[in-house]
Amino acid sequence: MLIRHLRFFVVLAEERHFGRAADVCSVTQPTLSQAIRKIEEELDLALIIRGHRFMSLTPEGEKVLRWGRQILADYDSLHDDLVGKRKGGLTGTLRLGVIPAAMPSVSFLTEQFEERNPLAQVEIRSMSSRAIERALENFEIDGGITYLDNEPLQNVSRFPLYRERYVFACRGDHPLAAAGAVTWARAVTQPLCLLSEDMQNRRILNGIALRAGVELRPKVVSNSFLGVASHLRRGHWCAIVPHTFAFVFGDAGDLALLDMVEPVHRQTIGLVLADRLPQSPMALALRECAEKADIERRIEAAFGRNADDSPAARSR
């Protein structure tokens, strides 16, 4: 069985359409169909239920898909390892799944990766924590950045990167802009636009509000940071966002970012890798970056403060 033919089969199973799969593989549809037939003949099994078009995989096809993904991942890892040793650093593409709340901080990790592997490319996907878990299991990504404390993922290795806290964001001319910090009880009285990328993130925010004895009722929710930023700029809405968003806002003089207190909440954002051996060269490179990059110190330095120098941190 040729690796190329096995890759055709995996792409077809993911696209569920012969024409689209052929386009992805840069071959003609007859060439792709012939390759699938050769795999079926070699295994003496029907892998695909066909009508006038692709219908579904057979139970045997589902098993071949799982094994095929693992075989292709191992083959690509072998290739990257051998080529990387010859050229000095990894080649190929690092595929990284990141929860939206951690997107403002992802460059602190990819910067470290690129310094060590200048010939490699990086592909970043915005994903929920559960989507990251599934993608790791299916060999679709090399690693993920997500919550480590709340509803932790299964069958993964975890490497802390930094502790996330929340800040209250508003326009510079808002009545609360001059406050040193904002309580959760006070924050929920404002018209809020919240980032809500998945149910896990919403449960975290609701849980903190519950500890403060209040209920979180946002006027607007968005699964995109750009949606939150747009409403902040208009001035009518405020937001509760991770403190790393300050790195994206930069020195915007018309916005105020205030620490959230009563209660102070911190949670760990970290790198997750599939818990399997051997680890791929990409996964090992990510692990090295997570262990040596000292990302929390570098994030806080970018904001002009020490890791424990915020009003929220001092109130712990």
Instruction: Please give the pLDDT value at position 74.
Output: 76
The Cα-based distances of 137 to 141, 248, 270 in angstroms read 9, 31, 18
pLDDT in tens, 156-195: 999 999 999 999 999 988 999 988 899 999 999 999 999 8
6 contacts: CB under 8 Å, gap ≥ 6: 39, 68, 71, 72
| Residues of the chain above pLDDT 90, percent | 37
Strand-pair partners of 241: 167
Instruction: Please give the pLDDT value at position 312.
Output: 38
φ/ψ of 158, rounded to 5, equals: -120, 140
Which ranges of the chain would DSSP assign to H, the alpha helix? 3-15, 18-25, 29-43, 59-87, 106-116, 129-137, 184-187, 199-211, 225-234, 245-249, 281-292, 295-302, 311-314
The whole-angstrom separation of Cα 237 and Cα 230 is 10
Instruction: Please give the pLDDT value at position 70.
Output: 79
Q: Which residue has the higher pLDDT, 277 or 125?
A: 125
Number of H helices, E strands in the chain: 13, 12
Q: Which residue has the higher pLDDT, 52 or 189?
A: 189
Instruction: Please give the pLDDT value at position 183.
Output: 96
Instruction: Please give the pLDDT value at position 263.
Output: 94
Instruction: Please give the pLDDT value at position 249.
Output: 75
Domain boundaries, the chain: 3-85, 88-161+268-304, 163-266
CATH topology classification for 88-161+268-304: D-Maltodextrin-Binding Protein; domain 2 (3.40.190)
The whole-angstrom separation of Cα 316 and Cα 309 is 11
Q: Is the fold of 88-161+268-304 the same as that of 163-266?
A: yes
CATH topology classification for 163-266: D-Maltodextrin-Binding Protein; domain 2 (3.40.190)
3-state secondary structure of 154: coil
* Average pLDDT of every residue of the chain: 85
Q: Which residue has the higher pLDDT, 150 or 146?
A: 146
pLDDT confidence band for 307 (50 / 70 / 90)? very low
Instruction: Please give the pLDDT value at position 190.
Output: 95
pLDDT in tens, 264-298: 999 999 999 999 877 888 898 899 888 887 888 88
The whole-angstrom separation of Cα 121 and Cα 144 is 16
Instruction: Please give the pLDDT value at position 313.
Output: 41
Q: What is the pTM of this model?
A: 0.73
pLDDT confidence band for 91 (50 / 70 / 90)? confident
Q: Which residue has the higher pLDDT, 103 or 1?
A: 103
pLDDT in tens, 192-235: 999 876 667 788 899 999 999 999 999 998 888 888 888 988 88
pLDDT confidence band for 316 (50 / 70 / 90)? very low
Contact by Cβ (8 Å): 212, 185: yes
Residue 190 region, left (φ>0) first, then alpha (ψ -120 to 50), else beta? beta
Handedness of CA 215, 218, 222, 226 (dihedral sign): negative
| Burial tier of 225 (Cβ tally within 10 Å: 0-12, 13-18, 19+) | buried
3-state secondary structure of 67: helix
CATH for 3-85, among 3.30.420.40, 1.10.10.10, 3.40.250.10, 3.30.360.10? Answer: 1.10.10.10
Contact by Cβ (8 Å): 79, 58: no
The whole-angstrom separation of Cα 15 and Cα 127 is 19
The whole-angstrom separation of Cα 58 and Cα 9 is 13
pLDDT confidence band for 315 (50 / 70 / 90)? very low
Mean pLDDT score, 83-110: 83
DSSP assigned state of 278? S
| Burial tier of 305 (Cβ tally within 10 Å: 0-12, 13-18, 19+) | exposed
Q: Tell me which amino acid residue 132 is.
A: I
The whole-angstrom separation of Cα 175 and Cα 311 is 19
3-state secondary structure of 101: helix
The whole-angstrom separation of Cα 255 and Cα 134 is 37
Contact by Cβ (8 Å): 100, 126: yes
Per the omega criterion (within 30 degrees of 0), is the bond before 263 cis? yes
